[in-house]
Structure 1
Amino acid sequence: MRPELLRKSKASAPASEEELIKRLAPHVEAILDQLGVDRSDPNLQDTPRRVAAMFLEMFHGLKEGAEPSVTVFPNEERYSAMVMERDIPFYSMCAHHLVPFYGHAHIAYIPGKHIVGLSKIPRILEFYAKRPQIQERLTEQVADYLWQRLEPLGVMVVIEARHLCMEMRGVKKPGTLTVTSAIRGAFENAKVREEFLGFLNRSQKW
């Protein structure tokens, strides 16, 4: 796996969610105070606690261990064509500004020794998205996980996302779409990539 920007904590009993909220909330209060916000406003009465709880939810991937636990199965049918899940929605938080970026991932692999349940692919994406993240690393982490765990013939991941750090601040360019990709194995072949892109560009006709 590619290195994470995570601090290694000393071995100790993990704090409960309520304990973490109590620890985080005063820091949110301090930020509001430094900004000159009037915390006596009724709308802000429980805001520090709500923000603390929100951060625990948005960053829940940090507390689930080094990597997601996903069961794989032997490819007994020797299926060797592409398996693709497209338009998987995700939400993450930019590591640079701690504001959201969000979009869709398109993930494909060509089975080798193993296959994985279809519901597990979005779970892998969710695990790596729920932490302070950058889109480039997220793309590589999903590809690396599938490549190493499934031992497939190939993996390709494409992520399309909008970044609120670009839309709300800085250059302020709403609607800008950032696209990243990661390629492993058989997808380095142009014809295999073209098949992926063909599936990706095909309009839905259900």
Structure 2
Amino acid sequence: MENGIRMIIESIGEDPKREGLLDTPTRSCKAWAHLTQGYQQNPEEIIKKAIFKEECNHMIIVRDIELYSMCEHHMLPFFGKCHIGYIAQNKVYGVSKLARLVDCFARRLQVQERLTQQIADVIMEPIDAEGVGVVIEAQHLCMMMRGVSKQNSKMITSAMLGSFRDEIATRNEFLRLIAMERS
């Protein structure tokens, strides 16, 4: 990978032997390893390690989970927030594992649409949730700094499963709660 990065530096007209670029291939490789660490993680194992029996049969929401990912089309970052809601059926997740699950999928080359669906799918089954809702709002540097150059654009995606898909009142409650004014 380091040789490839050196080739990129040369192909854009820079000198990879210049002082400021000498260690760039090594640093870049380390950055890519971090940005793509989700390929070395098993999302099902992450989430199954934090299931707790709890007399709880209502909606649970974790909102504003920061996420950073890489667009698979241009290999440029996109970043934003993920909001997760689920209706428990006497089993709940440890809250930090939901954030780890988001990171696991986000730390791969992605499209936001797939990322949203992957998170929802993995949350639903292990606790036999009545329903799951995932909303991601993100800004894409491939759209902001190249091409159409739209600085203030945001993409919003949602995946609704079970009662979040089938029952309008449940879906609307989730959407209202994630949109509530931040105190």
Scaled to the shorter chain, the TM-score interval is over 0.9
Cα distance between partner residues in 2 of 1:139 and 1:83: 18
Percent of pairs with identical residues = 38
1:181 aligns with 158
Pairwise CA distance, 1:67? 4.3
Q: Is the 8 A contact 1:93 1:133 kept in 2?
A: yes
Pairwise CA distance, 1:29? 0.6
Correspondence list, 1:13-32, <5 A:
24-32=1-9
Q: Is the 8 A contact 1:72 1:114 kept in 2?
A: no
Cα distance between partner residues in 2 of 1:85 and 1:66: 18
Correspondence list, 1:42-61, <5 A:
42-61=19-38
Cα distance between partner residues in 1 of 2:23 and 2:97: 36
Cα distance between partner residues in 1 of 2:143 and 2:32: 21
Q: Residue 119 of structure 1 aligns to a residue in which SS? A: helix
The residue identity in structure 1 corresponding to 2:53 is: N
Q: Is the 8 A contact 2:67 2:106 kept in 1?
A: yes
Show structure 1 runs of 4+ deviating over 6 A: none
Q: 2:60 aligns with which of 71, 83, 86?
A: 83
1:122 and 2:99 matched = yes
Pairwise CA distance, 1:73? 3.1
Query: TM-score scaled to structure 1, two decimals?
Result: 0.84
Query: TM-score scaled to structure 2, two decimals?
Result: 0.94
Cα distance between partner residues in 2 of 1:33 and 1:179: 37
Gaps of 5+ in 1: 1-23
Specify whether residues 73 and 34 from structure 1 end up closer, same or farther in structure 2 by C-alpha distance, changes over 3 A only: closer
Correspondence list, 1:50-199, <5 A:
50-65=27-42, 67-70=44-47, 71-77=49-55, 79-188=56-165, 189-199=167-177
Cα shift readout 1:105-124 (whole Å, capped 9, x = no counterpart): 00000002521111111011
Pairwise CA distance, 1:90? 0.6
Specify whether residues 66 and 190 from structure 1 end up closer, same or farther in structure 2 by C-alpha distance, changes over 3 A only: closer
| Root-mean-square deviation (Å) | 1.4
Q: Residue 133 of structure 2 aligns to a residue in which SS? A: strand
Cα shift readout 1:137-186 (whole Å, capped 9, x = no counterpart): 00000000001222100000000000000001011101100000000011
2:12 aligns with 35
Gaps of 5+ in 2: none
